[in-house]
Chains A and B, each alone.
Chain A
């Protein structure tokens, strides 16, 4: 395991790089996903159609193809960017579809009776949304959204395999591929790096689920 301890700095940089991509993508995908979920529950038919089409198409398409299409397709029409931009954009597009479904299921989990009760005691639309529906929807959204976030961290490894440098996966490429260090400890170190992110995230999610559990 000397490879890991000798290159601890490299691994730490990779860990930070992965966290950087993930933070960027998490924010962007959350915004895009919430907008899409808004489309999907809106009373405007064309917007609903856009939301449904987006989710159906993107969820059924491998992330790898989204990434290749972005990195090699977009320059064909004069849109240029670094691998980092294309990688982050591809992962955002992909993750947003899952965020949208998580948020939608959260809104759907709020009982119709809650909105009816809110209206019947005279709350306005904005009051009932703010005070009654959203607080419950947000709680219901936390578990599926947490799972989407964990999946996103794991998918960031695909972005890494795709050639975006400076994140955890690329450490394996540098050490094993370029410097010829033995594969087993190098990959074990990379796996360890992901587990350092994912296991605490999973425990945090579990705690959040317990804390925000709604009695239904």
Chain B
């Protein structure tokens, strides 16, 4: 859990207090904290003068606007056909081994979340993952272990 503090107010002032700015505001909160708490969504509703249900209804439509707790680094593994054909399962096993969690879970220290996602547009360099915004492509179990170990040092 994080405390939203003045963040929602700052973001609403930056983007504007109207409905069309709802998604950019939610995206900025997720960009900072990786997920939306109930408290954050209620605050956004107040700032934009819409119901909290509208905010939740919108957020829950979009897979990248997570409403459940996520770690500091969200690892999204592409599960669409080409990545599946080119060794996605080996990448998942490697990540599960290193992080000691299953797909869908978050590590106890709240550093990493591991989730599957639909096509991220790197089929020619499969298998591919996103860690927060950054794509990593043409992965092998060795390559992905190195990448995660670097993130662990951050």
A binds B: no
Give me the interface of A with B, judged by CB distance under 8 Å: none
